[in-house]
Amino acid sequence: MHDLILPPYAPVFLDSLRALGYSAELAFADIVDNSITAHADCVQIFLAPVDGRCAFIDNGRGMSPEELTEAMRHGGNIMAQHRSDTDLGRFGLGLKTASLSQCRRLVVVSKRNTDAHPVARIWDLDEIERAANWVLLSSDDSGEVLKLPYATMLMDQGSGTLVLWEKLDRFINHGQTPEDAFQHRLDLIEPHLSLTYHRFLSASGKDRSLKILINGRLIQPTDPFFTKNSATQKLQVEEMRIDGHRISILPYILPHTSKLTREERLQLQNEDGGRAKQGVYVYRNKRLMVHGTWFRLHARDELSKLARVQVDFPSALDHLWKPDVRKANLELPVAVRDSLGRIVNRIVGQSKQVFRHRGRKTNQENFEYVWDRIETREGIRYNINRDHPVISAVISSVASTSAMPIEHLLRLIEQTIPIHALYNDMATRADIALQGTEERQLRAKIDELFDLIAALPAENKDLVLRSIIRAEPFSRHPDLVERLIKEKISK
């Protein structure tokens, strides 16, 4: 028996690695991960169709010529032995696999400190094919290096690294114009970075903060837990230790849509009303790895869509969570499954309560309802929604004297709804629908509405009017209501 050294055949091996399954946004994140690990607090990304290139410039600690060469090696050895507990890397692959999944030429320029010259290393798949070998283009001549696109930007800072993708062959799909292709990518990349790094982007104080700019525009963090909203319920954090390393589980219940700010509501709408993004959010060293899954502990459903759980684990426990090369998949460790399952069951129940209390399904979230449907252990109850604009206007108009008689009145109505008669009529009489809001009835209601707001100060009138017509019954006929209001005003 004798040993053979059998390295991979470079052109085929590299071509196969391109098929690891990176999307553009996952590839971008792999480059940003490296900048964070290098202690950069700013990453500038340039992506322009006219340029046909994509550039990442960070102000991290940079690399010496030897470090840069090793960094270009697939499965580089430089960090493997001494990764810190803030390192976002693991495999010694991301820089190469992410970049070459999108382009055929990867240029990396780095500068270690103010006095150092920038040096460059390049993997060019065409050169590798031509030479049928692992040919790494290399230059330590700063005059030559600074002629590379964007390289002079490094000279404005003490240290840092430029990653440049050229020959972007995977960026533009067949039949797309470069403008459309770049815009389409950006539409996915920006939200991905804004969510993946939200804890770095919003960090302050002693936590390490980060700025990411795309074409000069600052990326804002997307907080999936709406922690700035005081109506978000932050539940008890649970911690467990495995081999001395801490895993924490922090559940949140998001507020009902009626309590969200305009921006938060927009965010939720973009997330399929929250439905698609419910579930567990797992962070490795504060970087989001996986989200919007219940790990089969619970099925995604309409009523649990306000439940989100933040799970944090350190990279020291990678052997349990088993992240994949793209940092897009994790395995839920057996040791965590039971605790998480128990917590998920509890908070899913609480998320349902938010809806039951509101008595609404949120697919009609722009409306305010007169009646809340409430499920309790004793059964279903219907309560008058004190937040409905008309009802709250009436309550506050008498609040200065005493709100008690109004409260008595509301309770009396709630306790005496003729449920049985209604049920019987609904089942047997077609003409019950006449209670609906036809034009004549709406007109009468608008007359009443104008009487109601007549006493208000002029500057409040329009505000109150607008908020009331968003509620039932007006909300069901917005065009008709607009017309009737115009007629009323013009009289």
Ligand X SMILES: Nc1ncnc2c1ncn2[C@@H]1O[C@H](COP(=O)(O)OP(=O)(O)OP(=O)(O)O)[C@@H](O)[C@H]1O
79 forms part of the interface with ligand X (CB under 6 A):
yes
352 forms part of the interface with ligand X (CB under 6 A):
no
* 14, 26, 27, 58: which one binds ligand X (CB under 6 A): 58
71 forms part of the interface with ligand X (CB under 6 A):
yes
**Three-state DSSP class for residue 269:** helix
10-17 vs 94-102: helix crossing angle, rounded to 10? 80
Residue showing tokens 């390490």: 208
Binding segment toward ligand X, per CB under 6 A, in 93-101, 183-191, 301-309, 421-429: 93-101
The helix (run of H) or strand (run of E) holding residue 187 is: helix 178-196
**Of these partners, Mg ion, ligand X, none, which one is at the site of residue 90 (CB under 5 to 8 Å by kind)?**
ligand X
* 25, 30, 190, 264: which one binds ligand X (CB under 6 A): 30
The span from the CA of 17 to the CA of 3, in Å, is 26
Q: Which residues pair with 287 in a beta bridge?
A: 284
Cα diameter, the chain = 104
* Shortest reach from residue 224's CB to ligand X, in Å: 23
Return the residues of window 383-442 that contact ligand X according to CB under 6 A: none
Residue showing tokens 């390393």: 245
* Shortest reach from residue 236's CB to ligand X, in Å: 33
Binding segment toward ligand X, per CB under 6 A, in 85-93, 203-211, 239-247, 434-442: 85-93
Site string for ligand X, 154-193 (x = CB under 6 A): -------x--------------------------------
* Shortest reach from residue 319's CB to Mg ion, in Å: 18
How many residues make contact with ligand X (CB under 6 A)? Answer: 22
**Of these partners, Mg ion, ligand X, none, which one is at the site of residue 99 (CB under 5 to 8 Å by kind)?**
none
* Shortest reach from residue 163's CB to ligand X, in Å: 7
Binding segment toward ligand X, per CB under 6 A, in 84-92, 169-177, 200-208, 471-479: 84-92
| Neighbouring residues of 233: CB distance < 8 A, sequence distance ≥ 6 | 252, 253, 255, 350
What tokens were used for 96?
């190469």
Site residues, Mg ion (CB under 5 A): 34, 89, 94
Binding segment toward ligand X, per CB under 6 A, in 7-15, 30-38, 132-140, 279-287: 30-38
**Of these partners, ligand X, Mg ion, none, which one is at the site of residue 76 (CB under 5 to 8 Å by kind)?**
ligand X
The span from the CA of 324 to the CA of 26, in Å, is 12
Asked if residues 193 and 213 have their Cβ atoms less than 8 Å apart, the reply is: no
94 forms part of the interface with ligand X (CB under 6 A):
yes
* 91, 134, 371, 450: which one binds ligand X (CB under 6 A): 91
Q: Using the Cα atoms of residue 5, residue 10, residue 15 and residue 21 in order, give the sign of their dihedral.
A: positive
35 forms part of the interface with ligand X (CB under 6 A):
yes
| 266: Cα separation from own chain's centroid | 12
Site string for ligand X, 227-246 (x = CB under 6 A): --------------------
* Cis, bond preceding 473 (omega within 30 deg of 0): yes
Angstrom CA distances, 282 to 208, 450, 471, stand at 19, 52, 39
Cα 466–Cα 471–Cα 475 angle in degrees, nearest 5: 90
93 forms part of the interface with ligand X (CB under 6 A):
yes
Q: Identify which of residues 11 and 92 has a Cβ nearer to Mg ion in the complex.
A: 92
The span from the CA of 430 to the CA of 45, in Å, is 64
* Shortest reach from residue 97's CB to ligand X, in Å: 7
Listed residue (72, 63, 119) closest to 93, CA to CA: 72
Helices (H), ranges, 45-162: 65-72, 94-102, 125-131, 142-145
Cα 111–Cα 116–Cα 119 angle in degrees, nearest 5: 50
305 forms part of the interface with ligand X (CB under 6 A):
no
Q: Identify which of residues 33 and 124 has a Cβ nearer to ligand X in the complex.
A: 33
78 forms part of the interface with ligand X (CB under 6 A):
yes
| 469: Cα separation from own chain's centroid | 32
Q: Which residues bind ligand X (CB under 6 A)?
A: 30, 33-35, 38, 58, 60, 62-63, 71, 76, 78-79, 89-96, 161
